Structure 1
Amino acid sequence: MTLARTWSVGLVGVHGAMVEVEVDMAAGMPGVVLVGLPDTVVRQSVDRVRAAVANAGASWPLRRVTIGLSPASMPKQGSGFDLALAAGVLAAADAVPAAEVADLVLLGELGLDGTVRAVRGVLPAVLAARRAGHRRVVVPVGNADEAALVDGVLVLPVGSLQDLLAHLTGRVRLQPHVPGPRPDPPPGPDLGDVVGQAVGRRAVEVAAAGGHHLFLAGPPGAGKTMLAERLPGLLPPLDEPAALEVTAIHSVAGTLPAEAPLVTRPPFEAPHHSATMAALVGGGSGQIRPGALCRAHRGVLFLDESPEFPRAVLDTLRQPLERGSVTISRASGSATFPCRAQLVLAANPCPCASAAGDTACTCSAHERRRYQARLSGPLLDRIDLRVDLPPVTRAAWLDGVDLPEPSAVVAARVAEARAAAAERLRGSGLTLNGQVPGRLLRERWVVPRSASRLAERALERGVLSVRGFDRVLRVAWTMSDLAGLAVPGAEQVAEALGMRLQRAAA
């Protein structure tokens, strides 16, 4: 046998693409030619595979070896092709039966001693294999639980190249992976820990119920970070399609915990203010990988000390927040990532950031304006809720009598409000009030003029933009869902307008 074929999977964004690995043996000077747009990591895999084959007790063929990765026009990146390359070469050299590898999908990186190491992106790779009709997939032991999330595929975990050779030659067959019980994720921070911030707690509840973006401003110690960290605990658990989608993103990014292969809770991402544009949105010089915004898909992206982020970096969020996806293009290709996340911004009111608030501020009016202007108007215009948090008083902190509601109680109200919104939006392709475009708010879900007069006057005075007016109505609908009302009233519109204009007034 001088020609053998097997299969592996490449990644394009968060989706897998089948790659056929063809190996041809020919007479001539011994050497290896690798074709099919391999990157540096894939080209170096030839040396890794040669050493692994020798240390696994097999012989590398002393012939001219040509390895083709098809489709040839798709760039191949990463170390996940090692196992398929080794199996293809050994099949072409008649060391293993070619029929055994012809319809097998192999994923994994090889160490020089023949061990098979875990790789990124196994979940989207196995999903792609199932779509292509393949039913047997060999994966590293460390990725077995992740691969087993895909129904209808026989997952064969392998720990070393020696084990794979024993399986292919029929000596010792690999056993299909049987996943154990999935551990429950640890509980997150509880909203009951937040004391003395009724307005902030209300804003977080409204944001969770409607999927609205949120801006929290206040002095240090006011509870901005605490409130943001507790927002994911108010969101409902991810259903199975959403969980697989989020898990695939984290698998490609390499942030999937080994002990929890399936992400079932909304993710929470909080990048440092020194994060670059590629780290926040996605990119990279080699393989295009998802950034913090994409990893927060169906969860929360929290930007603490948001004025400290470069303004150009923050402004790149504007389009993805509107579309719910981001496309990153490079000379070698492009990748599209989903990024329908809730954005939470937090900021101090001024550079001095006195914990006592404005009474102890030493900044001039010009310094305050310049500091607040680091957040562009177009970005803030896309934020539905803008809340000023006052300093927590001694009485609220030490003398509070009523215990604040825990996350479980608030999450139950959020779930009821989301169910009411989903019922109203049925048939529109939308599920949350924060996703409803302004045209539909004015045509299908109209707020009575008697209730929206206050917002209309703000629009006439120029305090609100047209986009801002639509966002006030969105929030009013969410507040009416939380209150169990069929239509927002003047009270809901006034509260929504107040949460929209607090920063503008400041």
Structure 2
Amino acid sequence: MLARVQSAALVGVDAVPVDVEVDVSSGLPAFAIAGLADASEQDAKERVRAAVKNSQREVPARRIVVNLAPADIHKEGAAYDLPIALGLLLATGQLRPGVLDGQIVVGELALDGRVRPVPGVLAVALLARSLGVRRIIVPEANAAEAAAVAGLPVVPAGSLVEVMQILDGRRAARAVNAPSAVLSPRDEVDFSEVKGQAHAKRALLVAAAGGHHVLLIGPPGGGKTMLARRMPTILPPLSDEEALEVTKIHSVAGLVPPGTGLLCTRPFRAPHHSASRNALVGGGSMPRPGEISLAHHGVLFLDELPEFHRDVLEVLRQPVEEGTITIARVQTTVVFPAGFMLVAAMNPCPCGHFGDPHRLCTCTPPQLDRYRGRISGPLLDRFDLHVEVPRLSPADVVAAPAGESSGTLRARVAAARARQRERFARTRVGCNARMGGRHLRRFCVLNDAAVALLRDALERLYLSARAYDRVLRVARTIADLDDAEQIRTAHVAEAIQYRALDRPAARPPVPQMPASAGVP
């Protein structure tokens, strides 16, 4: 007898329908799984056999063939255990025919019949809603995640026995309360804790208001990491749609804690500089999201930027510009979202003291050139703001922290973002950092004085055409923070000063041997 149960497979961050076909026929006892399944699914026959037996049901000593269709989609993971077990029970007459019609089933089985959580349930729930299915059966630990999709009945499955009782009508399905779409974030850190660095705080406020990429440059101990880790606290709360996108990506990566609904805070990802290229952008035979996709709608922080491998940094060019990353493999090509804010930090030189008035830099000019050469010019050009974070003065170190709180700064950022949403209401642009050439010509009109100032900066700093556009975008954001419709000269001047690495740099002094030292 043949039975069919509907399930789903993950391709990128989306789910596609999969039919689990189970045929039980006469012949020598066997259990085979076909349909381009990986090793974990080949092991499913042992898990299913044990789970069915330990649930007081029978696995007949007959020929059992399971097909996961369509066969051209690679299936991996243990999410097909539960649909295979239910298909086996249907094919052997231990469940009534038709009880699973119009339902999607996913879940991993333990040997005792318990249903374990699986990744990507939110993507499966979104697929179920688009297909108009009657309901979805998911592991109990994933039920809150699936319930985030409005209008979709969710059946939480604690065990195979419970699912059989629900399908037979001997037990009612437990209710699942839909989680709140957006919760108030609870910040563990606050901008008011940062001492001094008024210039850097202002720059990060501008970056947050416009969604700009920012590079922090300064000696060790100046507060670069401290500032970067507080960046998410001044970003506006996630909207319903953004929360759904962020949760779906983390769900596919298996990073949503069991029993959790929508993620309510903006992501902050800080990979170590030893991270590989695949870890950063995603990869694998069946590509999974990397750090840049996990930072979607949030912040990607790269500390000690020159210490990252050159080839790892170069793959950031496409996602920084386009907000997506395309990963091609022999079996498939997937596009992952990567709309993150890039915040990076670096020392000015290998010893960290170049430009420090109180510490002598011991780096030679060739050492400085090699250090800065680890970051390519095209990548540096993609940072909207280059911000200097100098060493704190003794007075700032001993003084109590004084400054605006993250809540106050977040309100200013939210007001600026609201102006941008109104401005780009009929476009696909989400913030000033994403403006294209057509939008720059329309929304970044300068007066004669601002044009003259910008032309002078282009001649003195040798700015590229890309850097010119970025100055305009930052100036537009500064004007939004000032609630100004027209970009003024002061806005352009402030935007230009955030191009620190474009200024002609002085060479570090060559260390001199003390006069008292003799030559042997």
TM range (shorter): over 0.9
Name the SS of the counterpart of 1:360 in structure 2.
Answer: coil
Whether 2:200 is the aligned partner of 1:204: answer: no
Distance across 2 between alignment mates of 1:503 and 1:271: 27
2:87 maps to what in 1?
88
Distance across 2 between alignment mates of 1:399 and 1:138: 58
2:271 maps to what in 1?
271
Aligned ranges for residues 83-482 of structure 1 at < 5 Å? 83-179=82-178, 185-258=185-258, 260-285=260-285, 287-354=286-353, 357=356, 359-399=359-399, 403-461=402-460, 463-482=462-481
Distance across 1 between alignment mates of 2:477 and 2:203: 11
8 Å contact 2:147–2:179 — kept in the other structure?
no
Aligned ranges for residues 13-28 of structure 1 at < 5 Å? 13-28=12-27
How many Å apart are 1:259 and its aligned residue?
5.5
8 Å contact 1:231–1:300 — kept in the other structure?
yes
How many Å apart are 1:9 and its aligned residue?
1.0
How many Å apart are 1:61 and its aligned residue?
1.9
Distance across 2 between alignment mates of 1:389 and 1:444: 31
| 1:377-411 CA distance string (max 9 Å, x none) | 100101000011110111122246x8211111111
8 Å contact 1:6–1:103 — kept in the other structure?
no
Greater shift in the superposed pair: 64-73 or 262-271: 64-73
1:8 maps to what in 2?
7
| 1:214-256 CA distance string (max 9 Å, x none) | 0001111111111111111111111111110110000011111
Whether 2:57 is the aligned partner of 1:63: answer: no
Distance across 2 between alignment mates of 1:332 and 1:138: 29
Distance across 1 between alignment mates of 2:179 and 2:275: 38
How many Å apart are 1:502 and its aligned residue?
4.3
How many Å apart are 1:357 and its aligned residue?
3.3
Whether 2:74 is the aligned partner of 1:75: answer: yes
| 1:442-465 CA distance string (max 9 Å, x none) | 355322232132221232356200
Q: 1:208 to 1:90 in 2, by over 3 A?
A: same
Q: Percent identity?
A: 46
* Equivalent position amino acid for 2:329 in 1: R
Distance across 2 between alignment mates of 1:443 and 1:404: 36
Q: 1:181 to 1:409 in 2, by over 3 A?
A: closer
* Aligned alpha-carbon RMSD (Å): 1.8
Q: 1:184 to 1:419 in 2, by over 3 A?
A: closer
Q: 1:176 to 1:501 in 2, by over 3 A?
A: same
| 1:476-499 CA distance string (max 9 Å, x none) | 011111112111111111110110
8 Å contact 1:324–1:341 — kept in the other structure?
yes
Distance across 1 between alignment mates of 2:477 and 2:251: 34
How many Å apart are 1:306 and its aligned residue?
0.8
8 Å contact 1:216–1:345 — kept in the other structure?
yes
Greater shift in the superposed pair: 346-355 or 45-54: 346-355
Runs of at least 5 residues in structure 1 that lack an aligned partner in the other structure: none
TM-score by length of 1: 0.95
Q: 1:69 to 1:188 in 2, by over 3 A?
A: same
Distance across 2 between alignment mates of 1:186 and 1:259: 19
8 Å contact 1:91–1:101 — kept in the other structure?
no
Distance across 1 between alignment mates of 2:259 and 2:390: 41
Q: 1:428 to 1:136 in 2, by over 3 A?
A: closer
8 Å contact 1:278–1:284 — kept in the other structure?
yes
How many Å apart are 1:162 and its aligned residue?
1.6
* Equivalent position amino acid for 1:75 in 2: H
TM-score by length of 2: 0.93
Q: 1:356 to 1:387 in 2, by over 3 A?
A: closer
Distance across 1 between alignment mates of 2:36 and 2:322: 32
Greater shift in the superposed pair: 175-184 or 215-224: 175-184
Q: 1:111 to 1:353 in 2, by over 3 A?
A: same
Greater shift in the superposed pair: 72-81 or 86-95: 72-81
Name the SS of the counterpart of 2:336 in structure 1.
Answer: strand
8 Å contact 2:180–2:262 — kept in the other structure?
no
Q: 1:20 to 1:210 in 2, by over 3 A?
A: same
* Equivalent position amino acid for 1:246 in 2: V
8 Å contact 2:142–2:260 — kept in the other structure?
no
| 1:28-82 CA distance string (max 9 Å, x none) | 1121222221112122211111111111111112221121212222111211111
Distance across 2 between alignment mates of 1:504 and 1:54: 73
Name the SS of the counterpart of 2:66 in structure 1.
Answer: strand
